[in-house]
Amino acid sequence: MGREGRIETVDHPVRGCVEIPERRILAGEATHVGGNGNSSVGGAMDAVEVIKCLKALKGVGFGGVYEKSTFQCDRRKKGGVQKVTVEILDAGPEGGESRYHCLAEGEDGVKATGNPAGTIRSVLGTVHWGDLDR
């Protein structure tokens, strides 16, 4: 059936150790790293692993690294419906009680935010939604 791929480990000064199945690495080439540390094509990324890898980059200085999810919402308010973009930032399980951050922005550019929290329900509960009415 399929041919077994050879795994090559490359030590890159910025990316660290990356396993690449049967292909050459070009200097500065980006690689998708799956949850098992192997390069993958067409597979889903493991966000926690990506966050760890970004924080571990030498000489880059990333401290806060988050996965961002974006949601489009219709908010009822006096005078009609307001389009609101809600962004949830997730620092991963290592973020603890500050794992999630939320920023909401109305179509008019007005923003609302709140305190970081350890759960999505809590972070959404801290957002000052009334700020979108300004």
pLDDT digits (tens, 9 = 90+) for 57-96: 988 988 889 999 999 999 998 889 999 999 999 999 989 9
Domain ranges of the chain: 7-56, 67-133
pLDDT tens track for 9-43: 444 444 444 444 433 333 333 444 444 444 444 56
* Model pLDDT, residue 43: 64
Whether residue 113 has pLDDT greater than 60: yes
What is the average per-residue pLDDT within 48-54? 89
Instruction: Tell me the pLDDT of the chain averaged across its residues.
Output: 77
Percent of residues in the chain assigned helix, strand, coil, to nearest 5: 20, 35, 45
Across 40-92, the runs of DSSP E, i.e. the strands, are: 67-77, 80-90
Say what the pLDDT of residue 11 is. Answer: 45
pTM beyond 0.95, yes or no: no
